Structure 1
């Protein structure tokens, strides 16, 4: 195995998967939805390895493998958050591809009885300046499509709105209009600049206290139209503060891939639900831990889930927006897809030592249903890069 200092070291893979995996790598016993928290895993997409695409071309997806992975998540009792940044939204997956993904995944959810929420944004707009009306029309188009499929809507942060807004009022007006016309309560998503630098200063200010006040004002003005909020700032203290200030009935879905066990476990004043990209590779482990939490055993929940934080922090280390590369690597190593090719060719976005460390941490956790297969695939990847001996 390569290390970050340019050296080579030996690593012995584990022989068996962890106990939370079924013997054949399937769902754990009792695949019904977890009950103590509302939990979504933001799912990745599987590229078509035979498509002759370029990094700037629209993504070509392997639909069979992409939808099979969503069935895997539902089988763990988790909901699916579709067409989010984990699906390379705006970084390989354009709006046309996202729209088709939403339609297909929503139909799949209806077929299996799975919970699904889908991202609503403005990424059909070309790069450049846009008016407030154009931004609103783009949001409306996507909101209508998601609602027509029967999926819950997640109002994502918009690069176009961030560029067009001249202060907090622009956000208050845009979101007020969207929430008034939404048919059902939506989830509001605050995605921080560590995930997308173009979203710096979202809600009208780079001062987080000022931005938080605007965000909370949007919710306070329309509490009946907000099912919950997803905060992706990697700041546990801020999330807890916002969580305690929400109107009654509005959920907080943690998007903190650094501190999720403590936030989901909660404290004497509340807890967070979850909408997490890291629950894509952690699905069987997350499911097992949440079923322990369903019994009221918080310590047992933490004992299962806390060891996964080292892997998550590694996958999401700066530059955080490239975490998807490690997520897709682990899906390939776990046997969910038969290649390591990503939309936009982002399989090259992380270094070989980074990928090797991701494999080692996941193997240590016992995440691979077939550790021998994972080791063989990792060995082949290292061989391609001239690392394996």
Structure 2
């Protein structure tokens, strides 16, 4: 009843201090600049981002700020990244991407194309393997664009080929789908690339590869900013956003990660600034997570080694992909925690902030997940809109629209006010 009374009062309250979209834009520009190397694992890119967040939180009145260090193994591509097909150089990030687990490979190779017909019958497949077996190490197998309805038997033969018992030099997978990259925490035995089918000449005879991969331990940090509540200091509301991205693919191709997730970091810092000026009733913890793209590693580390106890956490809001919003906001776990979801939708309906507030169930798709698994009530918010660039080099600050940034800030702020009751 108390929360209901507060919610009614909030809906008719005078407007609170607004967000600072100029600050958010500057933060995104900084985090996406070349100096930050895509906030990955080459030239201390993620370390520079962590330092930026630390310094921004340290400026704020009433905040206690600290690092939470941890380490993990990562596969990175710091230098050589060259693919040449019959003398034509392909462009990393546009024409091709190495798989995240790709090892170092260097050499000139013959080409053999595997079309879908090779996988359709055992006879055709065995003939293809026999053709390779005499000089397999000199070949790259180019797997032509495959139909979506590949049979189970054909899929099994493809899997058998990829096991590489014949020891070919590597695989090139042609695709007519958008290229997207991620982060690898191990290294495969065989080199593998994804290549846009229209960028590849199927009549090619020779492919030259010069790719350097480094599998090594990497030290990084979660960044924590804590402000003590004025009335209920033992109760903590958490606001989080991962600051890492994909880094670099070779010397020239950087993945800036504007929407994913410089946008989430920017609104988190903007809200931290707001609460430094408007001290909250409950304590608040702001966390910049590292290594989300490598498999939610930073948040997993936190829930196993919590600096602030999980049992004191009243609610967690995780922010990712905050650069659009014209199609509304999604609350992952909205179907799990209906009282909070109903409050969120009531605020949005009354204030008219966003076009829609939608709900999903549980999903292991960002850093909220491990907290939910440990019993912490949590939402993961992401905005929906027409921004097609995801896990590619075009996710750039200068084209990120921030369409509904201002009203998203207001909605989250009002929802956090509700949570403090």
> Aligning the two structures, in what range does the TM-score lie when normalised by the shorter sequence?
under 0.3
More strand by share: 2
| TM-score, normalization by structure 2 | 0.26
More helix by share: 1
| TM-score, normalization by structure 1 | 0.27
Q: Which one has the largest radius of gyration?
A: 2
